[in-house]
Structure 1
Amino acid sequence: MSTTPDPTDVLTAAGALDPDLPTDRIVTHGAVVFLNGARAWKMKRPVRLRFFDFSTPELRHDVLQRELSLNRRFAPEVYRAVHAIRRADDGSLALDGPGETLDWVLEMTRFDDDALLVHRAAPGNLDDAFLRKLTESIVDLHASSPIRDDPHGATRLQEVVDGNLASMSAFPDVIDPATAQRLTSRITAMIAERSSILDARARQGRVRRVHGDLHLGNIAIIDDRPVPFDCLEFDEEMATTDVLYDLAFLLMDLWARDLRHEANVVVNQYLDRSPDDEGGFCLLPIMLAVRATVRAHVSAAADAVDDATRYLSLALGFTEPVAPRLMAIGGGSGTGKTTVARKIGGDLEPAPGARILRTDILRKRLAGVGEAETLPRSAYTPQARSVVYDECNRLATTDLAGGMSVVADAVFGSAAQQEAIVAVATETGVDFTGWWLELDEAERISRIVDRGPDASDADEAVARRQTATLEPPDEWTHVDAHADPALFLRTSVRPPQISRGRTKE
């Protein structure tokens, strides 16, 4: 009969757990978390597995201390301290007291049980403002993460793929070996095709020591703020990766729940705020497939057969070839171009939807100012406007050539601007659709006056000038913007069908 003391009894005797309050236990492969009152207490289990070794108190102390320091970067209000559990000469137990050290425990602030984002990830529950706030926190996290001096970005990702195949091979009764090999071969070919981009990103400092486990279950809402927590602490190599691969876990988790719009909001906000990552947009289908594969074999290991099957299908869907599309949404200021673009972005394939290139945001980026900062009139000369449209066309060309769809959101008020965006589609060999939103001047002005802080600097005077100078394109589809045109556009973008690269929970 085992004489190993129950950790609940140990923590109670040491004064960590209040015996008068209920205690809930959460057990994982490597840890046990005790929820008691206003605190959560985490102990590492004394185990040695493929990815970690927690077999001695010294090893458990080191990994808990690392977990504390790493997670305090973005969740200092949650992660409080690491304590020694010690036994005095009289046999009594205490935290950080005198005597022999038996083990170590991480003290955390407990948050509400329903605070995890995974419990709120349903259609309509995550509004765009919250998603943008979440994304900005991730951009900040990545910007402050230590850079890894490693030029081999493709090799690093391929090692994950090879490890996934080995893990899937351990469960042939759950994951068909031929399917696993087919998926691995597809991803390997995709990595080889994009190896120069992956390696360039590594040389440019985009491989960093990141969160490593950034899915919906590891993001909490605390005081109305999204707070990532529980980063991958036990393996520095596993947690050192391309920042977009870190982001891809969250994107995949959203896409798997058919939250395509939400995933598209996140990826576009990320790229809008992190210009250094623009050129990596074409890598996301690869990274989404790898993340879904990880979930497939983890589910298989947990004997969750249905989940393993769903995630395997999702991963395969991400590797299916999809013809990219270019859509341009034009019209005067106040017609709702940006609103429509954001509503339809997630309906375009491949995952995670279209890159929405908004000239208002690109203009501020080129000027080196924040999105809501008003620019002087000199930023709107014909020459300055030409530079902005050229940048939009350049980025669209890069994304389309990389196999990704694009929505260009701009006034497109002249024939030259319209012809230039059509030429992008011709050059890259993709289908082009142009939409022109129409709204009377009074309503446009009303919308401009009523909207809050925004990247657009348009005002009433701009709207009136546009009425006299805009050149509506005859070849584009004209849409009455008095009503919400998004429904019409979405129907034309994504007809009812089962879409590749998604699975419902």
Structure 2
Amino acid sequence: MTPFGGTHDHPPAALLKALRDPAFYAADGPVEVRETHASLVFLVGADAYKLKKPVDFGFLDYSTLARRRLMCRREVELNRRLAPGVYLGVVPVTREREGFALGGRGAVIDCLVHMRRLNDGNSLSALVRRREATEAGVRRVARKIAAFHSGAGRGPAIDAFGRPSAIARNHEENFAQVRPFVGHAIPGETFTEITEAARRFLKEQRPALLARIAGGHIRDGHGDLRAEHVYMENGVEIIDCIEFTRRFRYADTAADAGFLAMDLEAHGVPDLARAFVAEYTHASADEMGPVLGFYQCYRAFTRGKVACLRWAQPGQEQAARDSELAEARRFFHLALKYARGGGGPVLILMCGLTGTGKSTLAAALGEVLAAEVVTADEVRKRMAGVPAEAGRDEPLDTGLYAPAMNAQVYEALHAAAECTLRRGRNVILDATYRRRSDRAAAGTMARRLGAELFVIECTAPERAVRERIERRRNEGGGWSDGRWEVYLQQRAAFEPLEELRERERIAIDTTQPLAVQVAEALWALEHRLQAVSPSREGASRVQVPGKPVDGGL
């Protein structure tokens, strides 16, 4: 059994061997193979060939040749709406005397979707990771999607999928599938808050949902509009729409637009998400109103569910499982943000003595929160032109760590944080923050920018700290110059966090497993943010980018 709910079968070994052979395609270069739970893609030269696995997951049925042939044809037909030059056709795999052939005259044993190969580096997700995605680019994407939605199919059969009862079924299915992961990937309180908010929205905003049907906004859309499916190539190419079930494709156009906006925010570029929504709203003449945040919450929760299902799949390396768990937590945290009506960015100060695990926890939290992590040790050495591996055995408050240099480092940290917070992105500043004045400066900046401030104090017993410091010095690498003598000096000079309000301060014992540290920190952050979020008693509120706050999920 697979975590997706069906039996998992691979194509015959002999066929796979043939498809991995460059001679099968009359090509000279190597064949690169990529695999998902439902397909295998063979990349050779300028071409890509997708083979659907003979699987039946209930919602997706490729179990017979007839089904695979039908789904291949449907995939090409549907995806040509947004990428006509990418989807070249369906090619049969035939059995010949000498073996398997591509488009031969023998018996058809399977079918391949033939595509023009796209450059991985041109995907929107890759551009975001390299910090090369631009506002102009996402605005082009928005205009293309708006034009696509304008001409997409509609009618009574499609409208039925926009009815509150149909939307509720999709949500309840999600909730049931995530429930086994409560306490692991998602805290119980978070799960309850999201489910209650969704059910409340469906009840209180029923007129808004029905108005979307009347306004012609339920369309035969894309259904899986993620940044990795958008390519900034030949203008804009958008691939991989849902072909295997109408239920995931027939939906409110706001669900499509909200999906990509959510995914951009999950990638840590909320400024680009806002630009995308603003341009889509203008190009489509569709304000979307409260339903946008509702569908963003749904899409984020669904992505968290999918990551949970992958996390539960047996036979994975631990690193892969850890990555899936972090992804699930990131999407559930984002879903909670939408359920609460958005809100501003968060500034987190990692606080504590050298060797207490600040940087390790900061990096892990940065992944979950899609936050920019800025480390004082790196800033300090870059400012001084010192390589990371160049250790400096200097006493506290001398040399690179002299008061004047410390002041410059914290000014640089706060300047970097301000730039990122202004774009709406969360920030984690990784430094000792042993002085109240530095913490106060960060707090003043956060209040000025409308960001929530939290200080995570990392603690560990002296024995554990000493072992970490010795191990780090023996292994080398990294930006830190922390030594046991520095730890003792910092401890003597550390100014207690007495000036902070209780809700601003979070203490984490870093001798716990990293996954436990992350879970505790995330729970504490979400619990504290709840105190400043809209009331759970009435309808929550959704911030539509560029528009006043309106009632919604």
1:110 corresponds, among 97, 112, 117, to: 117
Name the amino acid aligned to 1:182: E
1:360 alignment counterpart: none
Tell me the distance in 1 between the aligned counterparts of 2:279 and 2:226.
Answer: 17
Name the amino acid aligned to 1:309: R
1:291 alignment counterpart: 299
Over 3 Å counting, the alpha-carbon distance change for 1:39 and 1:188 in structure 2 is same
Cα shift at 1:177: 5.0
Cα shift at 1:23: 1.4
Q: How does 1:391-406 map to 2 (within 5 A)?
A: 404=543
Cα shift at 1:115: 1.6
Task: Determine what percentage of the aligned residue pairs are the same residue.
Answer: 27
Tell me the distance in 1 between the aligned counterparts of 2:75 and 2:544.
Answer: 39
Asked whether the equivalents of residues 153 and 200 of structure 1 are also in contact (C-alpha less than 8 Å), the reply is: no
1:215 alignment counterpart: 226
Task: Specify the SS of the correspondent of 2:29.
Answer: coil
Q: How does 1:144-155 map to 2 (within 5 A)?
A: 144-149=151-156, 150=159, 152-155=162-165
Deviations 1:37-61 (A, max 9, x none): 1110000001111311111111101
Tell me the distance in 2 between the aligned counterparts of 1:3 and 1:232.
Answer: 22
TM-score normalised to structure 2 length: 0.56
Cα shift at 1:15: 5.6
1:302 alignment counterpart: 310
Is 2:194 the counterpart of 1:183? yes
1:232 alignment counterpart: 242
Cα shift at 1:18: 4.5
Over 3 Å counting, the alpha-carbon distance change for 1:145 and 1:241 in structure 2 is same
Asked whether the equivalents of residues 146 and 283 of structure 2 are also in contact (C-alpha less than 8 Å), the reply is: yes
Deviations 1:157-204 (A, max 9, x none): 222211211221243443445532332111221232222111111122
Name the amino acid aligned to 1:51: F
Is 2:101 the counterpart of 1:101? no
Is 2:23 the counterpart of 1:9? no
Tell me the distance in 2 between the aligned counterparts of 1:345 and 1:162.
Answer: 36
More displaced, 118-127 or 189-198? 118-127
Tell me the distance in 2 between the aligned counterparts of 1:109 and 1:166.
Answer: 39
Over 3 Å counting, the alpha-carbon distance change for 1:123 and 1:56 in structure 2 is closer
Cα shift at 1:72: 0.8
RMSD: 3.2
Name the amino acid aligned to 1:318: Y
Task: Specify the SS of the correspondent of 2:43.
Answer: strand
Name the amino acid aligned to 2:135: D
Is 2:328 the counterpart of 1:320? no
Tell me the distance in 2 between the aligned counterparts of 1:323 and 1:12.
Answer: 49
Asked whether the equivalents of residues 169 and 175 of structure 1 are also in contact (C-alpha less than 8 Å), the reply is: no
Asked whether the equivalents of residues 22 and 36 of structure 1 are also in contact (C-alpha less than 8 Å), the reply is: yes
Tell me the distance in 2 between the aligned counterparts of 1:4 and 1:123.
Answer: 39
2:138 corresponds, among 131, 138, 141, to: 131
Task: Specify the SS of the correspondent of 2:246.
Answer: coil
Cα shift at 1:222: 1.3
Tell me the distance in 1 between the aligned counterparts of 2:74 and 2:550.
Answer: 50
Name the amino acid aligned to 2:47: R
Cα shift at 1:214: 0.5
1:164 alignment counterpart: 174
Asked whether the equivalents of residues 148 and 240 of structure 1 are also in contact (C-alpha less than 8 Å), the reply is: no
Task: Specify the SS of the correspondent of 2:241.
Answer: coil
Over 3 Å counting, the alpha-carbon distance change for 1:106 and 1:407 in structure 2 is closer
Deviations 1:280-299 (A, max 9, x none): 22211111111110111111
Tell me the distance in 2 between the aligned counterparts of 1:142 and 1:26.
Answer: 30
Over 3 Å counting, the alpha-carbon distance change for 1:15 and 1:205 in structure 2 is farther
Name the amino acid aligned to 1:312: F
Over 3 Å counting, the alpha-carbon distance change for 1:182 and 1:163 in structure 2 is same
Cα shift at 1:103: 0.6
Task: Specify the SS of the correspondent of 1:114.
Answer: helix
Asked whether the equivalents of residues 12 and 18 of structure 1 are also in contact (C-alpha less than 8 Å), the reply is: no
Asked whether the equivalents of residues 541 and 550 of structure 2 are also in contact (C-alpha less than 8 Å), the reply is: no
1:68 alignment counterpart: 76
Paired residues, number: 339
Asked whether the equivalents of residues 345 and 407 of structure 1 are also in contact (C-alpha less than 8 Å), the reply is: no
2:255 corresponds, among 230, 245, 261, to: 245
1:199 corresponds, among 173, 197, 210, to: 210
Name the amino acid aligned to 2:260: L
Asked whether the equivalents of residues 23 and 35 of structure 1 are also in contact (C-alpha less than 8 Å), the reply is: yes
Task: Specify the SS of the correspondent of 1:281.
Answer: coil
Is 2:281 the counterpart of 1:268? no
1:311 corresponds, among 309, 326, 331, to: 331
Asked whether the equivalents of residues 341 and 541 of structure 2 are also in contact (C-alpha less than 8 Å), the reply is: no
Cα shift at 1:98: 1.9
Cα shift at 1:219: 0.7
Asked whether the equivalents of residues 212 and 240 of structure 1 are also in contact (C-alpha less than 8 Å), the reply is: yes
Over 3 Å counting, the alpha-carbon distance change for 1:166 and 1:6 in structure 2 is farther
Cα shift at 1:248: 0.8
Cα shift at 1:323: 8.3
1:38 alignment counterpart: 46
TM-score normalised to structure 1 length: 0.61
Cα shift at 1:3: 10
Cα shift at 1:404: 3.7
Over 3 Å counting, the alpha-carbon distance change for 1:14 and 1:63 in structure 2 is farther
Deviations 1:289-312 (A, max 9, x none): 111101111111111111111111
Tell me the distance in 2 between the aligned counterparts of 1:46 and 1:3.
Answer: 7
Asked whether the equivalents of residues 15 and 100 of structure 2 are also in contact (C-alpha less than 8 Å), the reply is: no
Tell me the distance in 1 between the aligned counterparts of 2:22 and 2:32.
Answer: 17
Tell me the distance in 2 between the aligned counterparts of 1:306 and 1:33.
Answer: 26
Asked whether the equivalents of residues 116 and 217 of structure 1 are also in contact (C-alpha less than 8 Å), the reply is: yes
Over 3 Å counting, the alpha-carbon distance change for 1:123 and 1:345 in structure 2 is farther
Asked whether the equivalents of residues 147 and 209 of structure 1 are also in contact (C-alpha less than 8 Å), the reply is: yes
Name the amino acid aligned to 1:77: G
Task: Specify the SS of the correspondent of 1:55.
Answer: coil
Asked whether the equivalents of residues 83 and 96 of structure 1 are also in contact (C-alpha less than 8 Å), the reply is: yes
Over 3 Å counting, the alpha-carbon distance change for 1:287 and 1:111 in structure 2 is same
Structure 1, unaligned runs of 5 or more: 325-342, 349-400, 409-424, 431-500
